[in-house]
A and B are shown apart, each in its own frame.
Chain A
Amino acid sequence: MSEDFQAFLSNLPQAIANGLVRGSIYALIALGYTMVYGILGMINFAHGEIYMIGSYAGIIAVAALSTLGLGGMGGPLSLAVVLVLSMAFAMLVSGSIGFTVERIAYRPIRGAPVLSPLISAIGMSIFLMHFVMVAQGKDYKQFPIPLHDKLVVTVIKIGTPSLGSWWPEGSVELTLLDLLTLAAAFGLMVGLYVFVNKTKLGTAMRAVAQDKTMAGLLGIDIDKVISVTFVTGAILAAAAGVLITIRLSQTFYTAGYIAGMMAFTSAVLGGIGNIPGAVLGGLVLGLAEDITSTYPGGSDWKVVVSFVVLLACLMFLPRGLLGERVGERA
């Protein structure tokens, strides 16, 4: 067995752990795509940009707190409070932009076939990306390194045993941030599950997704439900934006493109319109990416591998992993 492969196997447990963290972030973004698709039957291409705006808002909030001398480094507020506040601010900004985007670009053409809203969404994506570029400048925005360092400390380290001569021993390290990311992502997903299934608004949402006309006749305010869907998706994306900004220590105005693309792929992989499917798709894609790039020379091929995974899945399950039978669509 080649040395490269041995090294790959010993790295595998860590790659799986990283993949789960990355996948849970993809899943958070994918939820926004899948919810909007479930209700409007359209791809909200601008969703990646909403996520990117969330990451900017998170950095702005942290900078605001440290400029006011309140938190971050030396202020009275603890790190946890700073994180919660910045995430709340990011959710506020992204949520309100998600709301506005729907009002301006999608509501006037609701009911048109797939292509018109899609082009409008692509236009909105280009617009938002360059709006942020012009408004906030073209350089990378950095999450304060001292805060980043406090969060990126290894808290769990497990050695994985060797399984005979062919499987070398390895280890898994998880940082505080990894755990926080997993906790926040799954907390939000459980929250979403409860919201969609146990509240009145969530029931209305599912009703609108099933039959808009009928839901309207039953007195459900469709406009309101759609707005709520967009805002909810944007809030989840903003959380993902803040988490990943801390993880990567920086954000950039084009960050929404690749993340949006991967998240969208996750949503389709899981079966678009299906909430658990989006989560599953995100995890699968995250794992595929991290495992591929662990192999020597593999990082060149990981986008290829991701799409091959998607293709293989769609060949056999044309509606995605958890996709249900849905009406034929043109």
Chain B
Amino acid sequence: MLRFRSRVSLASLVIGAASAAILAGPAGGPRPASAGDETLKIAVCGPMTGGQKKQGDDVKNAVSLALDEWNAKGGVLGKKIEMISRDDEAKESQAVACARQIAAAGVVGIIGHFNSGCTIPASEIYKDAKLVMITPSATNPKVTDRKLWNVFRVCGRDDDQGGVAAKFVLEKLKPKKVAILHDKTQYGEGLAKQFRDALKAAGGVTITRFDGISQEETDYKAILGAVKKTEPDLWYYGGMYDKGAPITIQARDVGLMAPLVSGDGLKEEEFLSKAGSKCEPCFVTFGPDPNGIPTAKAFLESYKKKFGQEGPYSVYAYDAANILLEGIKAAGSTDGEKIAEAIRKRAHDGALGKLEFDDKGDLKTSIYVVWEVEKGAKGFKVCWSPK
């Protein structure tokens, strides 16, 4: 009995030691300044664990950069700004709990949530708490179609993005047969459906396959082989780069060499470095080139210096944070309704260009253009824009 007990207690010590060793990593890092009454708080909420974690970090980093710049200029309304963050694990139940925590923490506004499914229930809690939220990435039309006064988004809508991709494809690539795949997420499937519907509406194109590949799946050869046999002239992928890279590699492995068209989820340096030149020819829809916009240059430079390569939603998050803070400044108050009104009235000069919101909280102008992967997967360049 004693031996049993001793073994048991030692086992626990060992696990404790192992966890402590791992915990050591962040312990060395800087800790945020303690909260005082003289600070305003802004919350960032998105998935910080799980497959989309990097994107959650991209948003967090960009917001913290914007806050640093404002703080260097003396903050807003004479107060310093502080950031708090919550992990919603991309789950609705967690998103609701996070939203309540954020509301109780006394913030003045929220940048987030990242996924549409989390944004929708959370936005109602923020509405009741009279807080403004700006999502940098929730592209589902439902997010703003409910016409809540407190919801804005700085990214485009799925129906918009899928439509631009379809227009581009019909005009430039002129396919007869198209295969469509998606990653069975709210984002990916929504995008793929919008693309399919836009193609169907235009007519003259056969859609050979429309298939989902679930998030847990890692081996796509069976489905890709079947797609290849239908000999599509191009294939569309609705989804994020995390699955996008291996799917592209495996697609080329099974001999599916047709051009790949996709959405903003693949416009990511990591996609290029993982898939390499195997992804070519590849076209993605995304916002306009930030390098072409002078205001964006400074952001990209300082982001790279501090956090390394920016993600696809970093610029959006940076603009979202700036719009929120300018709204607070213009409203001269921390009252949510006043801030929302100020944001709606102003035209913002963002890193993405001139941004104006309509009544629903969507951007007035479509921002999507088509980017092409440069030879040798060196990077992306704009190759087509609608109109």
Report the minimal beta-carbon distance from A330 to chain B, rounded to whole angstroms: 23
Closest to A25 in B: B219
Judge whether B226 and A7 touch: CB under 8 Å: yes
Of the residues B4, B7, B217, B221, contact of A18 by C-beta under 8 Å: B221
Report the minimal beta-carbon distance from A298 to chain B, rounded to whole angstroms: 8
Q: Is A297 an interface residue (CB 8 A)?
A: yes
Of the residues A18, A250, A303, contact of B245 by C-beta under 8 Å: A250
Q: Once the chains are docked, how many angstroms separate the CA of A250 from the CA of B249?
A: 10
Within 8 A of A (CB), among B237-253: 242, 245-246, 249-250, 253
Q: Once the chains are docked, how many angstroms separate the CA of A14 from the CA of B246?
A: 20
Q: What is the total number of residues of chain A having a CB less than 8 Å from a CB of chain B? A: 49
Of the residues A133, A135, A296, contact of B209 by C-beta under 8 Å: A296
Judge whether A300 and B25 touch: CB under 8 Å: no
Q: Hey, what's the 0/1 contact readout for B107-150 against A, CB within 8 Å counting as 1?
A: 00000000000000000000000000000000000000000000
Of the residues A249, A254, A294, contact of B250 by C-beta under 8 Å: A249
Q: A138-B54, A140-B274, A248-B250 are in contact. Are A299 and B216 (CB under 8 A)?
A: no
Q: Is B270 an interface residue (CB 8 A)?
A: yes
Q: Is A108 an interface residue (CB 8 A)?
A: yes
Q: Is B291 an interface residue (CB 8 A)?
A: no
Report the minimal beta-carbon distance from B196 to chain A, rounded to whole angstroms: 13
Q: Is B230 an interface residue (CB 8 A)?
A: yes
Q: Is A257 an interface residue (CB 8 A)?
A: yes
Q: Once the chains are docked, how many angstroms separate the CA of A295 from the CA of B222?
A: 10
Judge whether B274 and A10 touch: CB under 8 Å: no
Within 8 A of A (CB), among B197-250: 209-214, 216-219, 221-223, 225-226, 229-230, 242, 245-246, 249-250
Judge whether A139 and B22 touch: CB under 8 Å: no
Q: What interface size band does chain B fall in?
A: 35 or more
Closest to B210 in A: A297
Judge whether A299 and B229 touch: CB under 8 Å: no
Of the residues A11, A131, A138, A244, contact of B22 by C-beta under 8 Å: A131
Closest to A133 in B: B49
Dominant SS among interface residues on chain A:
helix
Q: Hey, what's the 0/1 contact readout for B22-63 against A, CB within 8 Å counting as 1?
A: 100100000000000000000000000111011000000000
Judge whether A297 and B211 touch: CB under 8 Å: yes
Q: A104-B11, A131-B22, A248-B250 are in contact. Are A289 and B4 (CB under 8 A)?
A: no
Q: Once the chains are docked, how many angstroms separate the CA of A99 from the CA of B71?
A: 52
Q: A11-B229, A140-B246, A297-B211 are in contact. Are A134 and B25 (CB under 8 A)?
A: yes
Report the minimal beta-carbon distance from A175 to chain B, rounded to whole angstroms: 8
Judge whether A139 and B54 touch: CB under 8 Å: yes
Judge whether A252 and B51 touch: CB under 8 Å: yes
Q: A140-B242, A254-B51 are in contact. Are A299 and B223 (CB under 8 A)?
A: yes
Within 8 A of A (CB), among B272-287: 274, 276, 278
Of the residues A11, A138, A248, contact of B53 by C-beta under 8 Å: A138
Judge whether B274 and A152 touch: CB under 8 Å: no
Closest to B211 in A: A299
Q: Once the chains are docked, how many angstroms separate the CA of A295 from the CA of B226?
A: 8
Closest to A250 in B: B246
Q: Once the chains are docked, how many angstroms separate the CA of A154 from the CA of B212?
A: 27
Q: Is A145 an interface residue (CB 8 A)?
A: yes
Q: Is B15 an interface residue (CB 8 A)?
A: yes
Q: A108-B7, A254-B51 are in contact. Are A140 and B245 (CB under 8 A)?
A: yes
Q: Is B2 an interface residue (CB 8 A)?
A: no
Judge whether B225 and A299 touch: CB under 8 Å: no
Report the minimal beta-carbon distance from B165 to chain A, rounded to whole angstroms: 22
Give chain B's interface residues, CB within 8 Å of chain A. 4, 7-8, 11, 14-15, 18, 22, 25, 49-51, 53-54, 184, 209-214, 216-219, 221-223, 225-226, 229-230, 242, 245-246, 249-250, 253, 270, 274, 276, 278
Give chain A's interface residues, CB within 8 Å of chain B. 7-8, 10-11, 14-15, 18-19, 22, 103-105, 107-108, 127, 131, 133-135, 138-140, 142, 145, 148, 152, 175, 244, 247-250, 252, 254-255, 257-259, 289-290, 293-300, 303
